[in-house]
Amino acid sequence: MNKTQKTTAIAELKDKFENNKFFYVTDSSTLTVLEVNNLRRKCFENNVEMQVVKNTLAIKALQGSSDASSYEELLDAFKGPTTILFSESANVPAKIISEFRKSHEMPLLKAAFIESDVFSGDDQLEKLAALKSKEDLIGEVVLLLQSPIKNVLGSLQSGGNTISGLLKALEQRG
C-alpha cells in the first residue's frame, strides 16, 4: 500500500467513524474464508457493514476525527487482526455475533462504540445484545404516554355513562 492509498484509506475510515454512532471492533482471525463469507452475508442481510482494517490506519483515522477524545479508550482494542462492524443500530452487531458464535468460536468482541460509550471486552456481548433499538425505545415511550390517556378517557366515558344513567333515572321519576 503506497502513501496515497493509505491516505485515502484513512480518510474513508475517518468518514465512517464520524458518520456511524455504532461500531464494533472484533477479531475474526481464525475463521475460514467460508465462515467469513457466511458472517459477511449475515451482516449484509442486517444492514451491518463488515470491514477488515489495518490497525495503524484505523487508529490514525480515529485520532484525526473531529471527536477524537471520545475514541481514546477504544484505541487499545486495535491490536492483532481487526474487523470492524459498522451499524445503524446499537444491538444488531451483538446479536449477529451471538448467533454466529452458537456454531463458531469467533468473532471475539474487542470493543464496541455505542454513541459516546465504549464497551471493552468479549464479556460485554450479552449486555450489548440486550440493548434496545431506538425504535423499541420510542415504542415503549409511546405506550407509556398512551396509558394515562387511556385511563383518563376510560374514566370520562364511564363517568359519562353514569351521569346519563342518572339523568334518565331522574327524568323517569319526575
Grid cell, residue 52, equals 477488515
Regarding pTM above 0.85, the answer is no
Show the domain range for 163.
133-174
Average pLDDT, stretch 70-95?
91
Distance CA 22, CA 85 (A): 8
Please give the share of the chain, as a percent, with pLDDT higher than 90: 47
Model pLDDT, residue 156: 47
Identify whether residues 106 and 127 lie together within a single domain. yes
Identify whether residues 112 and 138 lie together within a single domain. no
Identify whether residues 90 and 153 lie together within a single domain. no
What's the number of domains the chain is made of? 2
Model pLDDT, residue 27: 94
CATH code of 101's domain: 3.30.70.1730
Model pLDDT, residue 127: 87
Let me know: does 122 contact 109? Beta carbons within 8 Å: yes
Phi, psi of 119 (to 5 degrees): -110, 115
Q: How far is CA 31 from CA 35, 40, 83, 102, in A?
A: 6, 12, 12, 14
Reported as a pLDDT band with limits 50, 70 and 90, residue 124 is: confident
